Amino acid sequence: MPPRAGPANPRGVSQRLYDCPQCGAPVKFESSIAVFAVCEHCRSMVVARNANVEAMGVMAELPPDLSPFQIGTHGEWNGSGFQIVGRVRVSWTDGSWNEWCVLTGDGRTGWLAEAQGLLMLSFEVDTKGLPQLTRKDCGAGRFFDFDRRRWVMTDVKEATCLAGEGELPFVAAPNTERLGVDLIGTGGKFGTLEFDKDGTRLYVGDYVEFSDLKLQNLRPVPGWSAEVAQEKYRTAALSCPKCGAVVNLRAAGLSMSAVCGSCSSVIDTADTNLKIIQKAKDAVSALKPVLPIGRRGTLRGTQWEVIGLCVRKDQWVSWSEYLLFNPWAGFRWLVTFNGHWSFVTRMPEIADLSGTAITMGDREYKLYASGHAQVTGVLGEFYWKVRRGEHAMLNDFIAPPFILSKEFYKDLKEFTWSHGEYMPHTEVVEAFELEDVDLPTGIYLNQPNPHAEKWKTLKRQWVALMLAVVGIQIFFAMGSRTHEIRSEHLDFDRDAQTAAAAVPPVIPASPLAEPPQTSLTNVQVTPRFKIDGGVSRVDIEATAPVDNNWIGASVELVNAVTNEKFPAEIEVGYYHGYDSDGSWTEGSQQASVSIPSVPPGEYFMTVETSADSAVRKMPLDLRVKRGGLFWSNFILMLLLVSVYPLTVLVRRHLFERRRWSESDYSPYTSSSDNE
Amino acid sequence: MMRHPIYLCLGVLSAIYLSFANARGWSLLHTVNPARIFGGSGHGSSFSHK
């Protein structure tokens, strides 16, 4: 029966309309390469061959799910519009997923795969130049080169078609089998190889985000969309095949296993027969989740529902992983340990950069921990067939507050990568309205270093202040000169001093009278001299030909007008000799003292000398200098502006040492310490 | 730049102090411990072997 011409669609491709061979209802083939469709009325499988159609039986019912996609959903990717025209539900031993057939504006047919919360959009490519690969050549970790990219095989599955709807470019009869090999290509491209009786096909595309597809005409999600508000917060439910208790499914069609809350049996929800994956040894799980299963909360602008709890342990510690679900955003994890939380996203598999560091973007992630982890407890539902006792090899790489985790499941022959960000516990408590939550203790592996955050903003201020202090000092140093304003020659005479000991010194009674000059009294008074300029530093230098002895002077700088006194003590001593280590010296024949903030004016000095008992006579030269800077001020201010920044630096370092103290790969310990 | 206001104030005060001290030949250390002796002098200082 030849097709009836349908209305030309905006893309200029004529729709083909056939009458269903079973019921006569119209069956539409929108794509020019569609050869298979499911009649919407009787669910007959209709195959179009050339100008004829034939029925192949009735398509199996698709299991209910919470996918937001439907036939007729349209969107945009890389500037090209597309519309969903068909769907295939595909299963493998440990789960199932949706593959939506899309028709683009330029007439290409592609596939939007929806699996484990990830979305992959890909298109078939010409396999010319593809290496000759057979099923035996396929395995996780193997690779080949094609089209200027290296493609690494990440996952190998025997896939079976469960059911379909809409129109498809191939005959999707139930139980049709194929071998599917997931690939990751250079630059993070997604690929999949398929082997079936018709040959080998390669599909290449990208991992995409729901929000990037600009989707419209989405299916209202029961329990989530306002259009079905009367069913909000209701879930799909099943009866536990072991104990009969009601088991609520919060991610129906997307989760592959669920745990019965009564008998703790793990149920295979991907299998319509609801087989038991694992029975519980104990009748009731002892798990007490901090985040109640079914609780909803808004994190980072998206509402999430807690649908599962997985408790894992390694040889040292145990931690909890909560599975969150949103129909449009997929799955996320909230991982908690000792009151700390991380918000984790499953990533497309990335190329394994062996070594102890991974560079991604502008961040370097350092290896923190490596070991085996085991599932010890499960509650709720999961997007894979989880089992208690399930083992995985874990590698955690950190660039706080971020973490990259690689998990290798030997039994599943699969790598998974996850990317997490530290989340303050207050954000989790507020989002999910929690009470009695443990406060964080210790330092978590990807916990942000509060001192590092502080240092980022502080170091600019520190440098600026250091430069300001240096600049001020240079400015004043350039304008400050030291110059000599007075030189005095005095003589120490012990005999004369002894004779004059009973004679009191003559200090001028009037500020205007010149002080008498004499070296015969104990206290000698100098002539007046002027100190000009502004308030400044005054240095008094003393020089004497001491030789294994000393001479000292108690000096007072006296303002002749105000009688303000500036006392100073100077001692000049020089010693030398010879011992078992050779000759030695100590001291100097010159000494000086500094007097700060001396105002300008007319001054004289009173000098009272003393000397070593062996000294009878000794000349003493005094030089008075004005000007110069006290460099102690500069040093003190440099230290003052540096104390706080250096404290922050030290605390930052100590925080990192504490963080890495729990790691076998600490950069703060030598290899010998690790042995 | 206003993330650490107390530290910034301390820095500004330090700069003001340094300017004041340099302009007036003043010294905090000398105020606390006036007229200390600089240079080699006294007993037990500047000992060295040649």
Whether the CB-CB separation of A117 and A346 falls below 8 Å is answered with: yes
Contact A596 B49 (CB under 8 A): no
Asked if A151 and A191 count as a contact pair (C-beta separation under 8 A), the reply is: yes
A227-256 pLDDT, tens digit per residue, is 665 454 455 678 888 888 888 788 877 778
Q: Given this model, what pLDDT does residue A91 score? A: 87
Contacts of A550 in chain B (CB under 8 A): 41-43
- Residues of A within 8 A of B2 (CB-CB) are none
Both tokens of residue A261? 């809350």
A650 band by pLDDT with thresholds 50, 70 and 90: very high
pLDDT score of B13 more than 50: yes
The minimum CA-CA distance between A579 and chain B, rounded to whole Å, is: 9
**Which residue's entry shows tokens 């083992």?**
A391
3-state DSSP assignment of residue A523: strand
| Partner-chain contact A461 B50, CB within 8 Å | no
Residue A222: which pLDDT band, with cuts at 50, 70 and 90?
A: confident
CA distance A70 to A89: 13
Per-residue confidence band for A360, with pLDDT thresholds at 50, 70 and 90: confident
DSSP at A438: P
Q: Which residue of B3, B25, B31 is in closest CB contact with A537? A: B25
Q: How far apart (Å, rounded) are the C-alpha atoms in residues A208 and A455?
A: 37
Q: How confident is the model at residue A373 (pLDDT cuts 50, 70, 90)?
A: very high
- Please name which of A568, A521, A518, A576 lies closest in space to residue A547, comparing C-alpha atoms: A576
Q: Which structure tokens are listed for A145? A: 């080169």
State yes or no: pLDDT of A415 exceeds 80. Answer: no
The pLDDT assigned to A500 comes to 58
Is the Cβ–Cβ distance between A596 and B30 less than 8 Å?
yes
Q: How far is B40 from chain A (nearest CA, A)?
A: 4
CB contact under 8 A, B23 and A633: no
The CA R_g of chain A, rounded to the nearest whole Å, is 44
Contact B27 A630 (CB under 8 A): yes
Q: What interhelical angle do B5-24 and A631-660 show, nearest 10? A: 160
From A288-292, A534-538, B27-31, the region with the lowest mean pLDDT = B27-31
Judge whether B5 is closer than 8 Å to chain A, CB to CB: no
Summarised one tens digit per residue, pLDDT across range A61-110 is: 777 778 899 999 999 998 999 999 999 999 888 778 899 999 998 888 89
Mapping DSSP onto H, E and C, the string for A241-266 reads CCCCCEEEECCCCCCCEEECCCCCCE
**Angle, vertex CA A309, rays to CA A340 and CA A422, nearest 5:** 25
pLDDT value, residue B37: 45
Taking CA A34 as the corner, what is the angle to CA A28 and CA A38, rounded to the nearest 5 degrees? 50
pLDDT band, residue A354 (cuts 50/70/90): low
The answer to whether the CB atoms of B48 and A582 lie below 8 A apart is no
- B20 touching chain A per CB within 8 A: no
CB distance from B42 to chain A under 8 Å?
yes
Return the structure tokens found at A540: 């008094």
Amino acid B39: pLDDT: 40
Asked if residue A608 has pLDDT above 80, the reply is yes
Q: Please state the three-class secondary structure of A314-354 as a single string.
A: CCCCEEEEEEEEECCCEEEEEEEECCEEEEEEEECCCCCCC
Query: In 3-state terms, what secondary structure has residue A456?
Result: helix
User: Locate tokens 């083909």: which residue?
Assistant: A16
Q: What is the pLDDT of residues A420-435, one digit of tens each?
A: 999 999 999 999 999 8
DSSP state of A599: P
**Beta-strand (E) ranges in A169-198?**
177-185, 189-196
pTM for this one?
Answer: 0.77
- Cβ(A365)–Cβ(A241) under 8 Å? no
**Is the four-CA dihedral A466, A467, A469, A473 of positive or negative sign?**
positive
> Tell me: the pLDDT tens digits for A505-520?
555 555 555 544 444 4
Confidence band for B50, pLDDT divided at 50, 70 and 90: low
Residues 6+ apart with CB under 8 A from A137: none
Q: What confidence category does residue A522 fall into, taking pLDDT thresholds of 50, 70 and 90?
A: low
Q: Minimal CA–CA distance to A295: which of A434, A420, A439, A438?
A: A434
Task: List all residues 6 or more positions away from A496 whose beta carbon is below 8 Å from its beta carbon.
Answer: A519, A520
The confidence score (pLDDT) of residue A675 equals 47
Nearest-neighbour CA in chain A from B6: distance (Å): 10
- Alpha carbon distance A196, A176 (integer Å): 9
Q: Which residue has the tokens 């070296």?
A: A519
Give the residue on B whose Cα is nearest the Cα of A598. B25
* Nearest-Cα residue of chain A relative to residue B14: A637
Partner residue facing A457 (CB), from B4, B47, B50: B4
For residue range A297-318, list pLDDT tens digits in order: 999 999 999 999 999 999 889 9
**Separation of alpha carbons A239 and A257, rounded Å:** 13
Across the interface, whether the CB atoms of A633 and B17 are under 8 A apart is answered yes
pLDDT category, A546, cuts 50, 70, 90?
A: very high
| DSSP H or E segment with residue A609 | strand A601-611
Residue of B nearest to A596 (CA): B26
Q: d(Cα A202, Cα A191) in Å, to the nearest integer?
A: 7
